[in-house]
Amino acid sequence: PTFAEKSTIPSETSDPSMTPSISSIPTVSQESSFFPSTLTALTIQKRGRQLLQVDPLLQFDPFQVDVYERIMQNYTASFGHMVGEPFIMTICNVTEQQFVSNGVTSQLLLSFNMRYESRFGYNVANYTRLFQSYINDNLDEVTISMQEHFLTNVVEAGRVQMFFTRSPTFSPIVSSSPTFAEKSTIPSETSDPSMTPSISSIPTVSQESSFFPSTLTALTIQKRGRQLLQVDPLLQFDPFQVDVYERIMQNYTASFGHMVGEPFIMTICNVTEQQFVSNGVTSQLLLSFNM
């Protein structure tokens, strides 16, 4: 496509248009696209469990369960690629909570399902093994992360065990109050796990003894940015490529932030303008965006 060349990157003199200039983008043929021509989906789900030393010895309430699940989901960004919609989605679902004993101390045993859903041909077949390895190699980090994100009763996070072959779960020993029946070992797996979390039997935590802040505050930060890209052929991004670029920028938040993802920290990148600029020798694509 022809375009008007500029000698320098245009200076910022006014707020950029909030409407992406996508209508002027040339159509890209299927042959020249760098995305797969067919969209394939792959879903991997495995059962797992983790022992937690907690003080006081209480099961997680629904909010804490949600926090635990999101912490587990966020670790995918530490070993995976293109994590987040629409590429690779992670879903952790706590299915059961039990108190177990090793003969000396009692601990909280969480059972959960980890599901990885992939689009566009990304392979997630080994993600459950990578998840297990990452958690077990970074138990100190995992413990601190839980303590810093509302799971303050976690004293120590134990190793994660994923079940890679067909094997059932253990029999429950959960009671309807903070009292519990102790067992000398972690129960063995004898039947398929219940897919419904046993949250209804969790004792109620009073407001005074709650570990959570009494008020929930929201903070929103937005800044304009731009990036020069050397592209060949010299074409603007089509709508799908714009969406991919925005999601790549959003996903980098997990590389420096904590508790990234709803409902804690959400990142939105919005491309507002595409321009061709020249440095006198070569022309490049300048993307303007809001973060």
Do residues 269 and 289 make contact, with C-beta atoms less than 8 angstroms apart? yes
Segments in the chain below pLDDT 70: 1-40, 164-217
Three-state DSSP class for 163? strand
Q: From CA 129, how far away is CA 43, in angstroms rounded?
A: 14
Structure tokens, 192: 């398929």
The angle subtended at Cα 148 by Cα 131 and Cα 62, nearest 5°, is 75
Backbone φ and ψ for 108, nearest 5 degrees, come out as: -95, 125
285: left (phi over 0), alpha (psi -120 to 50) or beta: beta
Strands of 9-70, DSSP E: 41-54
Q: From CA 169, how far away is CA 87, in angstroms rounded?
A: 31
Q: From CA 170, how far away is CA 245, in angstroms rounded?
A: 45
Strands of the chain, DSSP E: 41-54, 88-101, 106-119, 154-163, 224-229, 270-278, 283-290
Question: pTM, whole model, 2 decimals?
Answer: 0.51
What is the Cβ-side half-sphere exposure of residue 252, based on CA atoms within 13 angstroms?
Answer: 7
Structure tokens, 10: 């245009």
Q: From CA 271, how far away is CA 279, in angstroms rounded?
A: 22
The alpha carbons of the chain give a radius of gyration, in whole angstroms, of 24
What is the residue type of 76?
A: T
- What's residue 251's pLDDT? 83
Per residue in 187-246, pLDDT (tens digit) is 444 434 433 333 333 333 333 333 444 445 678 899 999 999 998 889 999 887 888 889
- What's residue 75's pLDDT? 94
Beta carbons within 8 Å of 61's beta carbon, 6+ residues apart: 199, 202, 204, 205
Task: Determine which helix (DSSP H) or strand (DSSP E) holds 279, and give its type and residue range.
Answer: none
Cα 275 to chain centroid, rounded: 33
- What's residue 181's pLDDT? 37
- What's residue 147's pLDDT? 93
Q: From CA 251, how far away is CA 240, in angstroms rounded?
A: 16
Do β-strands 106-119 and 88-101 pair in parallel, antiparallel, or remain unpaired? antiparallel
- What's residue 142's pLDDT? 96
- What's residue 9's pLDDT? 54
Do residues 234 and 287 make contact, with C-beta atoms less than 8 angstroms apart? no
Q: From CA 197, how far away is CA 281, in angstroms rounded?
A: 62
Q: Which residues pair with 122 in a beta bridge?
A: none
- What's residue 8's pLDDT? 52
